């Protein structure tokens, strides 16, 4: 939805303790939020992984994916966003929803800078939504694998444009399935030897 008077649009949290609450967007930021349909489908596919999970949101934009994860029971979320203005928007959304800053932490910087700094941490879910056309998806996979950021039975999802393709495997990461939502594709990865999910 879009509020023409304030120049601010918003999406809503789909499910969980914050269901129906607004997540603000800004028309002067180059952010392409994941659609409600795709966001709902991603979380439905993750199912039991979300409660008490550690969630990593790369190219976080408005913070909608991380906020949705918190609403559905994630223990902690790290939101990585290179734009200081977009990061400030995530903080505003977090604070307006009453989310503890220790639960949803915002890291400002490029993914190439921040991901190596997360060495030693493991995430049950990694979601990355790079700008369409910049072909960063494969590099994100490479860094997640290199720094062992995905838990053994975790899930990694890259959102990308339908005309872009990602490798079937990089290091220990294996492509499990691909879901199409119009021009948007969600490529699901897991670590070799991890448990499969529907």
> What are the tens digits of pLDDT across the range 75-123?
999 999 999 999 999 999 999 999 999 999 999 999 999 999 999 999 9
Quick one: three-class SS letters along 152-173? Answer: EEEEEEEEEECCCCCCCEECCE
Residue pair 94/101 in contact by the 8 Å Cβ criterion: yes
Give the pLDDT of residue 161. Answer: 87
Confidence (pLDDT) at 188: 97
Q: Which two three-digit tokens encode residue 124? A: 């049950």
Residues with Cβ within 8 Å of 5's Cβ and at least 6 positions away in sequence, in order, are none
In this prediction, residue 28 carries a pLDDT of: 58
pLDDT digits (tens, 9 = 90+) for 160-198: 988 888 999 999 999 999 998 888 899 999 998 765 443
CB 92 within 8 A of CB 38: no
pLDDT of residue 32: 58
CATH class, 34-191 region: alpha beta
Residue 3 has pLDDT above 60, yes or no: no
* pLDDT value of residue 29: 57
**Closest to 107 in 3D by CA, of 140, 60, 75, 69:** 60
Sheet bearing 22-24, strands edge to edge? 2-3, 8-12, 22-24
Give tens-digit pLDDT for 62-76. 999 999 999 999 999
Q: Which residue has the higher pLDDT, 87 or 26?
A: 87
Task: Give the residue-averaged pLDDT of 21-34.
Answer: 72
């Amino acid at each position: 939805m879009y509020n023409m008077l304030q120049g601010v649009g918003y999406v809503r949290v789909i499910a969980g303790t914050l269901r129906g609450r607004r997540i603000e967007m800004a028309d002067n930021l180059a952010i392409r939020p994941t659609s409600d349909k795709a966001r709902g489908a991603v979380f439905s596919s993750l199912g039991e992984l979300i409660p008490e999970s550690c969630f990593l949101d790369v190219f976080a934009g408005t913070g909608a994916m991380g906020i949705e994860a918190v609403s559905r029971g994630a223990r902690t979320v790290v939101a990585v966003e290179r734009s200081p203005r977009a990061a400030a928007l995530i903080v505003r959304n977090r604070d307006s929803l009453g989310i503890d800053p220790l639960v949803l932490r915002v890291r400002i910087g490029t993914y190439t800078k921040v991901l190596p700094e997360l060495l030693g941490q493991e995430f049950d879910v990694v979601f990355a939504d790079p700008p369409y056309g910049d072909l960063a998806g494969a590099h994100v996979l490479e860094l997640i694998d290199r720094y062992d950021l995905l838990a053994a039975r975790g899930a990694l999802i890259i959102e990308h444009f339908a005309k872009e393709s990602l490798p079937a495997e990089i290091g220990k990461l294996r492509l499990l399935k691909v879901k199409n939502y119009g021009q948007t594709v969600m490529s699901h990865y897991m670590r070799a030897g991890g448990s499969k999910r529907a």
